[in-house]
Amino acid sequence: MSAKWRRNKKNSNWFHAIRNFNRCRNKKNFPMWHIKSSKFKKQTYPLKYRVFRVDKKVGWKEPQPLIDILEEKDDIIVVADFAGFKRENLRVKVKNQRLLLSAEAPERKYYKSLNLPKRVIPESLRTRYKNGVLEIRLKKEEKEKAIDELAG
């Protein structure tokens, strides 16, 4: 080691306090040791440097699954992210132009009701679940066309 390095690398005050404590520990008369308060000041840092504890008790909410509704010529496609849920625990229902999604896991539950953009045929419901993504396909209800000309 060079002498310059030894001069630059001084031991901290904590090091000296602990070393003195260890030396005095085995003596019968245990002397009290004090640290000067002027050398160790409590510093407060701005909020951007503080670390906050993330805990469920503090009001932590788990992010909701992402849901997209896509409209094609004959179909309405709903794509939802349900990572962490098993296929058996997912439920999908269609009622009065509303899509009801629910999922359960041992430690969490999720429920969502969506308004569909067009009227659909509830019996045409098809689902596919792969890699945590649920895809729901529904057929649009065909509108009855009015006849302009009367047969005659």
- Closest C-alpha among 18, 52, 44, 48 to residue 33: 18
- Enclosing domain of residue 74: 63-139
Alpha carbons 54 and 118: distance in angstroms, whole number? 42
**Non-local CB neighbours of 85 within 8 Å, separated by 6+ positions:** 103, 104, 105, 110, 132
CATH code, domain carrying 81: 2.60.40.790
28 located within any domain: no
CB 102 within 8 A of CB 91: yes
Query: Quick one: how many helices (H) and strands (E) in the chain?
Result: 2, 7
Residue 4's H or E segment, with its range, is helix 3-8
Q: Is 101 exposed, middle or buried (0-12, 13-18, 19+ CB in 10 A)?
A: buried
Distance (Å, whole) CA 129 – CA 150: 49
Q: Which stretches in the chain have pLDDT values below 50?
A: 8, 34
Please report the pLDDT score of residue 94 as a whole number: 92
> The pTM is what?
0.54
- pLDDT tens-place string over residues 31-62: 555 455 555 556 665 555 555 555 555 566 66
The number of domains in the chain is 1
In a domain, 76, yes or no: yes
Q: Please indicate, yes or no, if residue 38 is contained in any of the structural domains.
A: no
